[in-house]
Amino acid sequence: MSMGASTRWTPDSWRSQKVRQQPAWPSRKALDATVEQIAALPPLVASGEIAALKTQLAEAASGNRFLLHGGDCAESFEGCRATPITNQLKILLQMSLVLTHASRRRVIRIGRFAGQYAKPRTEENETRDGVTLPAYRGDNVNRPEFTEFGRTPDPALLLRGYERSALTLNFIRALVDGGFADLHHPEQWNLDWVGHSPLAVEYTRMVDAIGQSLRFMETLAGVRVHQMQRVDFYTSHECLLLDLEQAQTRQVPRRDGWWNLSTHFPWLGARTSNLEEGHVEYLSGIENPIGIKVSPDSAPRDVVALCQRLNPSDEPGRITLIHRMGAHRIAQQLPPIIDAVALSGARVVWVCDPMHGNTETVRPVGGPRAGQPVKTRKFAHILAELEQAFEIHRTKGTVLGGVHFELTGENVTECTGGARGLGDDDLAGAYRSAIDPRLNYEQALEMALLVARRM
Ligand code: PEP
Ligand code: CO
């Protein structure tokens, strides 16, 4: 196939190409029946919202907005409850206020939520004590429990996932419209951890300054800040299960083109970004803004080719390049990619994901998981990658237009480090992620303050 756009794109033209990372569904018939049901359900988001996000991302590309993209590595059906959802919005909102304050730019908030239920896996199978079963691929596909039943892909889960996406989004929209007001105010933030940091004085000064700015604005306008401007949250998930993505790809009245109405911002994962394959074909035909993960193995010319294939008319806001290199590789791998993209003239939003290149496996010495392998990330590595990203873009004359985190508003112990100094032996305490380790509430807020300090 040539590198240009395929001659005729349709929502199912991906089917004629190689497609990676799809589950081995036991029955094609059962899958088709479920997908047909989903295709008949109302969409989760509206094309007008998607278009608005694209406009805002175009402003981020030119340095006039900043993107905060974050949430769970994998949402779970069990996590579709009021408290975790509220806490997720709360941490994203608080981080966005810190970043707005520091950057003097409006912040776009995109959650990895309301549909982040499918995961790509490096290994097809998992073996425990001599038993081999399919790997867990997210709650949309199978179950984490290590049994034959649990790991067999079940298309009924796609429908459960679709319903939970709708429930999550419904609750988010309700919170945004009504019950969310005071979370703007630092008086409501949980800042107990600040005292554990050597930067306590500086943090307290920053948070006080944010509170003062808010009160100043409220005095001027004569209304509370939440009444001045709607707090928008957009949704995103990895564009992975193409049968599911296709089921919500629709045309809408009075707008051209095809829209993926299951999310505002689908992204192309690092494992499915081959130019000649199905995921790229599918994404090439939809109108949504899209994220592209850029790994240390991405060749600069391939990144440029992806931008051209997915955005042949160089529409502003269409492409966000999310680089995830690792603290030890970013200095070497990122600059040639920036140079190649700059030379091509493509206009993109540059975003740093300091999580996925910094995952490691440790074996805690003590605690309930002693001696067992546990996936984690070090706060210091995450910060080190971010700091280098800001510096590299600055020296190249490009703008780092956003940051991407795996985080939760809950008090988990999955990443180590941060003001409280969580260590490997603490990981077992509250380790809940089924896939990748997330920053917890305190670590996420601290990270935002550290990023703000450098901005
Ligand atoms: C992810 O974002 O959870 C993920 C799997 O990332 P990547 O494709 O960059 O490895
Ligand atoms: Co992840």
346 in any annotated domain: yes
Write 158-161 long-range contacts (CB < 8 A, 24+): 158/31, 158/34, 158/35, 158/38, 158/241, 158/243, 158/244, 159/34, 159/37, 159/38, 160/77, 161/77, 161/115, 161/117, 161/118
Identify which of 453, 376, 405, 455 has the alpha carbon closest to the alpha carbon of residue 197.
Answer: 453
pLDDT given for residue 2 in this prediction: 39
179 in any annotated domain: yes
- Give, as one character, the DSSP assignment of residue 329: T
pLDDT (mean) for 94-100: 93
Cβ neighbourhood burial of 238 (10 Å; 0-12, 13-18, 19+): buried
- Give, as one character, the DSSP assignment of residue 422: B
How far is residue 350's CA from residue 330's CA, in Å, rounded to a whole number?
14
Report whether pLDDT(47) > 70: yes
How far is residue 421's CA from residue 202's CA, in Å, rounded to a whole number?
18
- CB-ligand 1 contact for 438 (6 Å cutoff): no
pLDDT given for residue 4 in this prediction: 45
292 in any annotated domain: yes
The band of 312, judged by pLDDT with boundaries at 50, 70 and 90, is very high
105 in any annotated domain: yes
7 in any annotated domain: no
pLDDT given for residue 181 in this prediction: 63
- The count of structural domains within the chain is 1
Report whether pLDDT(337) > 50: yes
Phi, psi of 429 (to 5 degrees): -50, -55
Distance 355 CA to ligand 2 centre (A): 8
Prediction pTM value: 0.96
pLDDT given for residue 285 in this prediction: 98
Nearest CA to ligand 1 atom 10: 270
The top-scoring range by mean pLDDT among 85-99, 262-276, 424-438 is 262-276
Residue 193: count of CB within 10 angstroms of its CB = 18
73 CA closest ligand 1 atom index: 3
- Give, as one character, the DSSP assignment of residue 136: P
422 in any annotated domain: yes
Pairing of strands 259-260, 249-250: antiparallel
| Amino acid letter for position 442 | E
8 in any annotated domain: no
Distance 113 CA to ligand 2 centre (A): 13
How far is residue 343's CA from residue 335's CA, in Å, rounded to a whole number?
12
Q: Is 390 in a helix, a strand, or coil?
A: helix
By most ligand atoms within 8 Å of CB, the mutation choice from 351, 436, 438, 439 for ligand 1 is 436
Cα Rg of the chain, angstroms: 21
147 in any annotated domain: yes
Percent of the chain at pLDDT > 90 equals 81
Q: What is the pLDDT of residues 201-231, one digit of tens each?
A: 888 998 899 989 888 888 988 887 777 767 7
Question: Which domain range does residue 79 map to?
Answer: 13-454
The answer to whether the CB of 128 falls within 8 A of the CB of 144 is no
Beta bridge partners of 68: 109, 403
* CB within 8 Å of 36: residues ≥ 6 apart: 247
Report whether pLDDT(1) > 90: no
Residue 24: count of CB within 10 angstroms of its CB = 10
293 CA closest ligand 1 atom index: 9
Q: What is the pLDDT of residues 393-413, one digit of tens each?
A: 999 999 999 999 999 999 999
435 CA closest ligand 1 atom index: 3
- Token pair of 147 as six digits: 């049994």
pLDDT (mean) for 12-25: 98
The answer to whether the CB of 373 falls within 8 A of the CB of 359 is no
- CB-ligand 1 contact for 269 (6 Å cutoff): yes
CATH of the domain at 215: 3.20.20.70
Residue, of 447 and 199, whose pLDDT is higher: 447
- CB-ligand 1 contact for 293 (6 Å cutoff): yes
Phi, psi of 13 (to 5 degrees): -65, -20
353 CA closest ligand 1 atom index: 9
pLDDT given for residue 84 in this prediction: 95
* CB within 8 Å of 96: residues ≥ 6 apart: 68, 107, 109
Beta bridge partners of 65: 106
